[in-house]
Amino acid sequence: MRRRSALALPLTVTLAGAARAQAPQRLRIGFAVGYAPFSEIGTDGQLKGFEIDVAQALCARLGVPYTPVILEFDGLIPALQSRKIDAIMASMSITPERQQVIAFSSPYYFSPARLVMRGDPSADVSPAGLKGKRIGVERGTIHERFLAEQFKGVQLMRYATQDQAFLDLKSGRLDATLVDAVIAQFGFLNHADGRGFGFVGPDFAKEQRYYGKGIGVGLRKADAAA
């Protein structure tokens, strides 16, 4: 609760610009589901998670109604640019490349990036050690770019959602997946499907030239300046 309170003021200021730009309309916030504990669809069919709770609290503080818009991750920035949504809250890393086209709030959380594999936690996960391995990533993420540029010898398998990658990892169609550690823990490893799997290797998010400065709210540059 204290963490959410600490986030409230800077993120409220961030969303205020988007709200002013849209007044008196609803604020449309883009989410990508399958990111437990941040954003997922519960057994009752309703959106839930940390980012959902924060978005609801911020819009209530602003006195602005909001509409959640569920999109695939790689469609979020195009939707923001084409004004189909007004803000992004989808565990999106603040990177120099993304900052060229959209604005970001200050970071509201940080997450390690880890490989999830079955078996030996001390396995060689260097580019040489992973050569020829099938590594799954969600399309449009920093993980995709990082592996494509730094692990050229792997078979890079791209998925529309991280949940699809987890399914193929469990079935043996993947050797590993690179994912935010918190999402892997809550969305896979803590469940029966994740038995026998674990984190292997270092925290790749320490490569700041790829992973940037943390996770922020994405906005149109004009709205952020409003």
E strand map for the chain? 27-31, 40-41, 47-48, 66-70, 87-88, 103-104, 113-118, 134-138, 155-159, 176-180, 197-200, 218-219
Is residue 180 over pLDDT 70? Answer: yes
Segment 118-137 mean pLDDT: 93
Domains of the chain, by residue range, sit at 2-109+212-224, 113-202
Please, what is the Cα angle at 192 between 191 and 197, to 5 degrees? 85
What mean pLDDT comes out for the span 141-147? 96
Give the model confidence (pLDDT) of 147-161 as tens digits. Answer: 999 999 999 999 999
The residue-averaged pLDDT of 89-109 equals 92
Q: For the chain, what percentages of helix, strand and coil (3-state, to nearest 5) are there?
A: 40, 20, 40
- Which tokens hold the place of 122? 């001390």
CA distance 66 to 58: 10
Pick 223 or 6 by higher pLDDT.
223
Of 146 and 120, more confident: 146
The confidence score (pLDDT) of residue 3 equals 40
CATH value of 113-202 in 3.40.50.1100, 3.90.1300.10, 3.40.190.80, 3.40.190.10: 3.40.190.10
47-48 vs 40-41, strand pairing mode:
antiparallel
pLDDT for residue 138 is more than 70: yes
DSSP string computed for 47-60 = EESHHHHHHHHHHH
Instruction: State yes or no: pLDDT of 20 exceeds 70.
Output: no
Domain 2-109+212-224 has CATH 3.40.190.10: yes
Give the mean pLDDT of the chain: 88
The answer on pLDDT for 190 being more than 60 is: yes
pLDDT tens profile 32-59: 988 889 999 988 999 999 999 989 988 8
